[in-house]
Every structure is written in C-alpha cells, then in structure tokens.
Amino acid sequence: MEATRSILKTLAETSFDSVAGYRKAAEMANSPQLMGILTQQAQKRQSTLDALNQELVRVGGDAVTSGTTAGGLHRLWADITSLFEKGDEAAAERAEEGEDYLLKKFEAALKDQDIDPAARSVIEKAYLEVKEGERLTDQLAHQYD
C-alpha cells in the first residue's frame, strides 16, 4: 500500500502544480477566449486533484495541499520570464509544457504493477482527463504559435 500512497501523492502534487500552472497561464493570456479556456482547464484539473486526494486519503495518506518543489521553482521561473514574455503564445506554450510533463508522470505511474486496483482505476480515469488536456494544449500551442 505504501507504493500506492507514494504514487498517488506524486500525482496529486504534480496535479496541484498543473492547477497553478493553468491559473498562471490564464493570467498571462491576452485573449479573453484563451483566458477562459485556461481557467476552465484549471477547474478540470482541480477536479482531477480532488479525485486523487480522495483516493490518497482512502489508502491512508494525507491530502495534498501544495505542489512539488520543482513545480514551485518552475512557477518562480515563469513569474520572472513573464516580465519579458506575456501574451497568448507564451500562455499556450506554458500550458502545453506543463501538460506534457504531467502526462509523462501519469504514464510512468501506470507502468507500476504494485498499485492497489481501486487506486489504479482512479489513476486511469485521471490519466484520460490529463490526456485530453494535453491534446487541447497541443492544439492551443499550434493555434497561438
């Protein structure tokens, strides 16, 4: 069960980073349409985080209320670079980078054979949501390139 808790915690922390990343990208966007899409994606990712946290608590862990150190550093870097780089293209690129990273985390987690079956089901559902978000951000990056 420890492996399951560890995987869920990692995915929840990275999903927390994703929520923060979408919010930051929405702040960077100029277009009301893109801002709305990114804000909606932040809400969807929050739902993903909530589901992961619920499962994490079920298996005896503590709900995640903060992101990873790497995510925090990335947000700091984004804050600094956003002083020089704003707009729809930068916002779409930031969102795409974050979703690519998150998708890889989920793919790696699903390769682990020691995950509790109920937790695996939650992770698989979250993976599909992340995969959908990754496809959307790829489209946005091409659209605003």
pLDDT band, residue 15 (cuts 50/70/90): very high
**Mean pLDDT for the chain overall:** 88
Instruction: Summarize pLDDT for 73-96 with one digit per residue, the tens.
Output: 444 555 544 544 678 998 898 899
Q: Give the amino acid at 137.
A: T
Per the structure block, which two tokens stand in for 54? 């619920």
Cβ-based neighbours of 130, under 8 Å, separated by 6 or more: 18, 48, 99, 102, 103, 106
124 is written with which tokens? 């698989």
- Residue 97 burial (CB count, 10 A): 16
Is domain 2-143 classified as CATH 1.20.1260.10?
Answer: yes
What angle (nearest 5°) sits at the alpha carbon of residue 116, between those of residues 113 and 122? 105
Whether 48 and 129 have beta carbons less than 8 Å apart is answered as: yes
Question: How high is the pLDDT of residue 80?
Answer: 45
Short-list 75, 19, 11, 12, CA closest to 46? 19
Distance (Å, whole) CA 36 – CA 139: 15
The pLDDT tens digits of the residues spanning 92-135 come to 988 998 899 999 999 999 999 999 999 999 999 999 999 999 99
Q: Output the pLDDT for position 78.
A: 53
pLDDT, average across residues 46-57 = 97
**Nearest to residue 128, comparing CAs of 102, 94, 92?**
102
Q: What is the pLDDT of residue 83?
A: 44
Distance CA 66, CA 17 (A): 8
